[in-house]
Amino acid sequence: MLILTRKLGESIRIGDDIEVKIVGIAGDQIKLGITAPRKVDVNRGEIYEAIRKENSRAVSGNLSDDILNAMKTMKTNNQ
């Protein structure tokens, strides 16, 4: 894992088309701004894990309609 130190307003680049910028610091929280192409999914870690688990359930046929609809709504809102 690469660990970098950044100050408010500074950023890091990932490849040519992804930028992660420190846009706010309040107490023990840091607010990040992420610029990435639409084809790149950007999710919080806990959301990513929930999606991964639900995708596994979908493959096994145990996905409820409510969860499926919620995931579709999330994807539509992120595009």
**pLDDT tens, residue by residue, 61-70:** 655 677 777 8
Regarding pTM above 0.85, the answer is no
**pLDDT tens, residue by residue, 25-41:** 999 999 999 999 999 99
For the chain, the C-alpha Rg in angstroms (whole number) is 16
Same domain, 54 and 26: no
Structural domain harbouring 77: 43-79
Annotate 56-71 with b (16+ C-beta within 10 A) or e (fewer).
eeeeeeeeeeeeeeeb
Same domain, 1 and 26: yes
Same domain, 17 and 30: yes
Same domain, 71 and 54: yes
Same domain, 47 and 72: yes
What's the rounded Cα separation, in Å, for the pair 5 and 34? Answer: 17
Same domain, 55 and 75: yes
